[in-house]
């Protein structure tokens, strides 16, 4: 069954529709900017509700954050200020039938408090699950300068104490059963540490072993480790994850090999839930965030379609959920230009041509 779940995808050639740049999918009707009113959800067509109903219940799709005014008539009923969306938008976001998770990326820059997690949890239904990114305090090997570049060794890198006190415990206490995944996204390592990867793996093992048990308070929760260096994708890494009860987070990012080449890690952990973060379209290269931002903002339409990734990721989702396991997949605007529309495209791929088990 592993070959059915995780075999090398055999991809059909892109259809003419996939080759087009579907600007028409963006809402064309102008919407009035609203201020001082609560954020309201956009009314979704019957086809979107039907698509959501056709998906596996254990699949939760979502986006990386939600504070984008240009998602008007896709997620919001009109255009709201970004600050208003930050405070009030999550409740409206969670009413979209396809958006059943979200990645709390802001935690990477400054750890959230229990009260902040509680406020988020209060805004979503019981079936919603959060994917939470660990703070850079713990996941960056280098302390960052103001321009974001590493400048010196981080003494708190993979600290078991801080991973618990600044991340796992507050998230568990604040989100409770609505916690879906704690993601440790390990930033690129300096060459000195890459050359001493076995020692870093031992640090990772120690940190993961120190984390509190999730299931008593969050039955669906899982710990996942995402990396940015391909050197991590070795059997020894998978062994650490397996021994500590963690899983691998598929990182769809140009710094890593394509999805198919990351699957051996998942095979080594099978059976396991799926955690995937689709971060950046491969056409922009490993350092292409600024390029993608300039091209895609304000994130109101699809601009660079990636049908191969849709097909490959849908196959993995079908295998994992078909075997009865949870799947958490979050998508950035930098994947194709507009995360809610990419979610809809991926849902269409998952719902059609379901494989037999």
Per-residue pLDDT reduced to its tens digit, 260-296: 999 999 999 999 999 999 999 999 999 999 999 999 9
Task: Give the pLDDT confidence score for residue 3 in this predicted structure.
Answer: 41
pLDDT confidence of 9, banded at 50, 70, 90?
very low
Answer yes or no: CATH 3.20.20.410 is held by domain 39-351. Answer: yes
Q: How far is CA 323 from CA 56, 70, 102, in A?
A: 11, 37, 23
pLDDT tens string 122-166 = 999 999 999 999 999 999 999 977 665 657 899 999 999 999 999
> What's the mean pLDDT in 86-109?
96
pLDDT tens string 25-78 = 444 444 455 556 799 999 999 999 999 999 999 999 999 999 999 999 999 999
Q: What share of the chain is helix, strand, coil (3-state, %, to 5)?
A: 45, 15, 40
pLDDT tens string 228-238 = 999 999 999 99
Distance in Å from the first CA to the final CA of the chain: 8
Task: Please enumerate in sequence order all residues whose Cβ is within 8 A of that of 356, keeping only pairs 6 or more positions apart, or say none.
Answer: none
> What's the mean pLDDT in 72-89?
96
pLDDT tens string 304-323 = 999 999 999 999 999 999 99
Task: Give the pLDDT confidence score for residue 37 in this predicted structure.
Answer: 79
Strand partners, 174: none
Percent of the chain with pLDDT over 90: 85
Q: How far apart are CA 142 and CA 154, in angstroms?
A: 5
DSSP tag of 98:
T
Task: Give the pLDDT confidence score for residue 15 in this predicted structure.
Answer: 41
Q: How far apart are CA 25 and CA 165, in angstroms?
A: 44
Residue 117 has pLDDT above 80, yes or no: yes
Mean per-residue pLDDT over the chain, rounded: 90
Task: Give the pLDDT confidence score for residue 119 in this predicted structure.
Answer: 97
DSSP tag of 97:
T
Percent of the chain with pLDDT over 70: 87
Instruction: Identify how many contiguous H helices and E strands the chain contains and give both numbers.
Output: 15, 12
Task: Give the pLDDT confidence score for residue 357 in this predicted structure.
Answer: 29
Task: Give the pLDDT confidence score for residue 32 in this predicted structure.
Answer: 52
Q: How far apart are CA 155 and CA 69, in angstroms?
A: 39
Residue 86 has pLDDT above 50, yes or no: yes
The dihedral of CA 257, 258, 261, 265: what is its sign? positive
């Amino acid at each position: 069954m592993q070959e059915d779940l995780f075999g090398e995808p055999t991809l059909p050639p892109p259809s003419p529709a996939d080759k087009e740049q579907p600007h028409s999918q963006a809402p064309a009707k102008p919407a009035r900017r609203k201020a001082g009113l609560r954020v309201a959800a956009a009314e979704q067509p019957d086809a979107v509700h039907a698509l959501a109903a056709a998906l596996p219940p254990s699949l939760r799709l979502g986006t990386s954050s939600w504070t984008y005014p240009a998602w008007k008539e896709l997620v919001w009923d009109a255009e709201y200020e970004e600050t208003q969306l930050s405070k009030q938008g999550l409740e409206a976001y969670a009413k979209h039938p396809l958006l059943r998770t979200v990645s709390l990326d802001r935690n990477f820059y400054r750890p959230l408090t229990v009260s902040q997690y509680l406020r988020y949890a209060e805004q979503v239904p019981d079936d919603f699950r959060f994917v939470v990114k660990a703070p850079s305090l713990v996941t960056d090997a280098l302390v960052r300068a103001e321009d974001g570049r590493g400048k010196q060794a981080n003494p708190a890198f993979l600290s078991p104490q801080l991973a618990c006190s600044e991340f796992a415990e507050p998230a568990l206490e604040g989100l409770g059963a609505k916690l879906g995944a704690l993601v440790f996204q390990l930033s690129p390592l300096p060459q000195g540490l890459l050359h001493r990867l076995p020692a870093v793996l031992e640090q990772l093992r120690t940190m993961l072993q120190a984390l509190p048990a999730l299931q008593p308070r969050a039955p669906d929760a899982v710990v996942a480790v995402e990396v940015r260096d391909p050197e991590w994708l070795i059997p020894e890494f998978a062994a650490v994850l397996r021994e500590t009860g963690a899983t691998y987070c598929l990182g769809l990012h140009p710094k890593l090999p394509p999805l198919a080449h990351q699957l051996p890690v998942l095979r080594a952990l099978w059976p396991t839930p799926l955690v995937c973060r689709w971060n950046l379209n491969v056409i922009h290269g490993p350092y292409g965030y600024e390029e993608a931002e300039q091209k895609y903002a304000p994130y109101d339409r699809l601009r660079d379609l990636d049908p191969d990734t849709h097909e490959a990721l849908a196959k993995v989702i079908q295998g994992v959920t078909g075997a009865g396991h949870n799947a958490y997949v979050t998508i950035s605007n930098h994947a194709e230009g507009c995360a809610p529309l990419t979610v809809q495209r991926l849902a269409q791929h998952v719902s059609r041509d379901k494989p037999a088990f």
